[in-house]
Amino acid sequence: MRMITRLAVAAVAAGGMVAAALAANDSAPADLNDPVSVRQHMMKNVGGSMKLLAGMVKGEAPYDARVAEAAFRAMNNAALGLGAFFPAGSDAGETEASPKIWQDMAGFKAAIGAFARDTAAAAAARPADLDAFKPVFGKVAGNCKSCHEAWRVKKE
In angstroms, the Cα distances linking 12 to 5, 17, 81, 143, 156 are: 11, 9, 23, 28, 39
State how far the Cα of 137 lies from the Cα of 10, in Å rounded to an integer.
Answer: 21
Cβ distance 128 to 65 under 8 Å?
yes
16 in a labelled binding site:
no
148 in a labelled binding site:
yes
42 in a labelled binding site:
no
Annotated binding site for heme c: 144, 147-148
Annotated binding site: 144, 147-148
